[in-house]
C-alpha cells in the first residue's frame, strides 16, 4: 500500500516533540505539507528543522501559539486559512489522587485536552466539508476507556474526546470528510519517561524502570512495552489517506492490546 498525501495540508497541534512530532514527520514523509505547532517558538522551530532535515523536500511551517486558548486559535487561523488534515494531538497529563484535584485543575485539563480540539474542528471542518475532502483525527488514549486511578482527570477528558469525535463525524456525514479518534496506549516520549520515574523512582536503569512500570501500572498491555511514537504516526498517516474513506466516527486503537474488551 503506497500512501501519497501530496497536495494535502496538515496541521498537528502540540507537535514540537513526542507523538506530535512523530506524526508531523510521517505526514511529511508521505508528501503532505505540514504545519507544526507549539507554545515555545524555539522548540517549534527546532521541530520544523528536524522534519526538513529528516524528510528531503518537506514543506513545513512552524506556528508558535497556545492552542489551548481562543486567542491562540485565532492567531493560528490568521496564518493558516484552511486544512485538509487536522490532527488534534495537544494534551497534558499527570498523576494526582482524584480527591485532591481542584476545580481549576479540572478546568485546565478540559481547556487543553478537549476544548482545543473543539475549537480547531469548528474552525476547519466547514471548509473541508465545502471542498468534499477532509480528515480530522483526535488523539485519545486507552485512558478514555480504562480510567487510570492515578489520573482520573486526564482519562475523563479523553473519554470526552470520543464523544466529540462521534458528534462531529455525524455533522460531516455524506461530505467526504472523516472524523476519528485514535486511542494511543502508553507511549515512549520524554514526558512519559518523567511520568514513569515519578511512579517507579530514579534508581533503576531505564529498561528495568519501563518493565516495572508496565508490570505494576499497565499490566494489561499485550506487548508489555511502551509504544513508539512512530507506531501511532503510522495509523494517522493511513487515516489521512484515501484508503480510509469508509472509516469515520470510530475510536481506533494503537494501544498495544491494553484495553481488555472487544469493543471500545
What tens digit of pLDDT does each residue of 196-240 get? 999 999 999 999 999 999 999 889 899 999 999 999 999 999 999
With CA atoms as reference, report the closest residue to 2 among 45, 25, 37, 31.
31
Mean pLDDT (the chain, rounded): 96
Please report, to the nearest 10 degrees, the dihedral formed by the alpha carbons of residues 35, 124, 73, 162 taken in order: -100
- 37, 198, 209, 214 from 226: Cα distances, Å: 25, 16, 11, 8
Angle of helix 116-131 relative to helix 152-171, nearest 10 degrees, comes to 20
Q: Which of 124, 154, 168, 258 is catalytic?
A: 154
The third-level CATH classification (topology) of the domain covering 9-187+228-254 is Rossmann fold (3.40.50)
Specify the pTM.
0.94
Question: Which segments of the chain belong to CATH 3.40.50.720?
Answer: 9-187+228-254
What tens digit of pLDDT does each residue of 44-74 get? 999 999 999 999 999 999 999 999 999 999 9
Active site residue 154: yes
Please give the average per-residue pLDDT across 236-258, as a whole number: 97
Q: Is the pLDDT of residue 264 over 80?
A: no
Identify the band that residue 105 occupies on the pLDDT scale cut at 50, 70 and 90. very high
Amino acid at each position: 500500500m503506497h500512501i501519497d498525501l501530496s497536495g494535502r495540508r496538515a496541521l498537528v497541534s502540540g507537535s514540537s516533540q513526542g507523538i506530535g512530532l512523530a506524526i508531523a514527520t510521517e505526514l511529511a514523509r508521505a508528501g503532505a505539507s505540514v504545519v507544526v505547532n507549539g507554545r515555545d517558538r524555539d522548540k517549534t522551530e527546532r521541530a520544523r528543522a528536524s522534519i526538513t532535515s529528516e524528510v528531503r523536500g518537506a514543506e513545513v511551517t512552524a506556528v508558535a501559539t497556545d492552542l489551548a486558548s481562543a486567542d491562540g486559535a485565532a492567531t493560528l487561523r490568521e496564518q493558516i486559512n484552511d486544512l485538509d488534515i487536522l490532527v488534534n494531538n495537544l494534551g497534558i497529563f499527570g498523576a494526582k489522587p482524584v480527591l485532591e484535584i481542584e476545580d481549576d485543575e479540572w478546568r485546565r485539563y478540559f481547556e487543553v485536552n478537549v476544548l482545543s480540539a473543539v475549537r480547531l474542528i469548528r474552525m476547519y471542518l466547514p471548509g473541508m466539508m465545502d471542498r468534499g475532502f477532509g480528515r480530522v483525527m483526535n488523539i485519545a488514549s486507552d485512558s478514555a476507556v480504562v480510567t487510570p486511578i492515578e489520573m482520573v482527570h486526564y482519562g475523563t477528558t479523553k473519554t470526552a474526546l470520543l464523544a466529540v469525535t462521534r458528534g462531529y463525524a455525524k455533522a460531516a456525514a455524506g461530505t467526504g470528510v472523516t472524523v476519528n479518534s485514535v486511542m494511543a496506549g502508553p507511549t515512549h516520549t520524554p514526558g512519559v519517561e518523567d511520568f514513569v520515574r515519578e511512579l517507579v523512582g530514579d534508581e533503576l536503569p531505564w529498561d528495568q524502570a519501563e518493565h516495572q512500570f508496565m508490570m505494576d501500572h499497565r499490566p494489561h498491555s499485550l506487548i508489555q512495552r511502551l509504544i513508539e511514537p512512530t507506531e501511532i504516526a503510522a495509523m494517522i498517516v493511513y487515516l489521512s489517506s484515501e484508503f480510509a474513506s469508509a472509516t469515520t466516527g470510530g475510536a481506533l486503537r494503537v494501544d498495544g492490546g491494553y484495553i481488555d474488551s472487544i469493543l471500545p
